[in-house]
Amino acid sequence: MTSEKTETPGGLHEQVLSRLGPALVSGEHAEGTVLRIDEIAQSNGVSRTVARDVIKVLESLHLVSTRRSVGVTVRPRGEWNVFDPRLIRWRLAGPDRARQLRSLSELRHGVEPVAAALAATHALPEHIGTLTAAVIGMSVTGRQGDLEAYLEHDTAFHCALLAASGNDMFAALASVVSEVLAGRTHHDLMPEHPEPAAIRLHGDVAQAIASGDASGAERAMRAIVDEATEAMEAAFPAS
């Protein structure tokens, strides 16, 4: 068995980050809590150097701030870098899952139908090829019940859609949407066999974009995000 002393610094860094990051976003360490580098190092059995490197990552996510005379202070939720894929992943894996999914669903409603309409005007042939291939892949893997493979095709579709919009800011949200799709799969929010109707809607989006039908692309994309929202609400009814 590999001892901790033989772990690479990068491996130790990721281990500590994977513990401390989720603890912060779950509220285990409340806003305003002061953490000490020495305590983080000792409690995780790592060097101060590794602990400091972890804190640098958490600072980049705006989860904590550091001051030499104070220490490491947990920042308010409103200051978090909520678009960072790692932070989204941690929140989806924790007790904040329902809140995060609702927030992400609302974001998708505001972005993806508009991106689909824009794509009908701006999509390049390679975008259309990727969208079409992704739909075919979703259809095959959906029938097989291979959710991991289905996820790859679904992610490729939505990333290509955002890129095809011609809007750089929409395209930059690809990693966010990818985490939403991965979260649905990895936290058992997908049916064993994806709904054929949902796959057909993806095909409708691809066809509308290929034919330059902006309103048709927007309508079909809105139906897709509506279906995803309904599934989320069924899993996490609003209290």
| pLDDT digit string, tens, across residues 179-233 | 999 998 998 888 888 999 999 999 999 999 999 999 999 999 999 999 988 888 8
Cα 99 → chain centroid? 14
CB burial string 128-139: b at 16+ within 10 A, e below: bebbbebbebbb
Q: How far apart are CA 40 and CA 55, in angstroms?
A: 9
What's the confidence (pLDDT) of residue 235? 82
Per-residue pLDDT tens over the stretch 45-85: 999 999 999 999 999 999 999 988 888 999 999 999 999 99
Would the pLDDT of 236 be above 70? yes
Taking only the tens place, the pLDDT of each residue in 159-182 is 999 999 999 999 999 999 999 999
Q: What is the pLDDT of residues 21-56, one digit of tens each?
A: 999 999 999 999 999 999 999 999 999 999 999 999
- Predicted confidence at residue 2, as pLDDT, reads 36
Question: What domains appear along the chain, each with residue ranges and CATH number?
Answer: 4-79 (1.10.10.10), 85-235 (1.20.120.530)
- 107, 229 in Cβ contact below 8 A? no
Own/partner long-range contacts of 151-158 (Cβ < 8 Å, ≥24 apart): 151/181, 151/182, 151/185, 154/181, 154/202, 155/181, 155/182, 156/130, 157/130, 157/131, 157/202, 157/206, 158/112
- The phi, psi pair for 134, rounded to 5°, reads -65, -40
The predicted pLDDT at position 4 comes to: 43
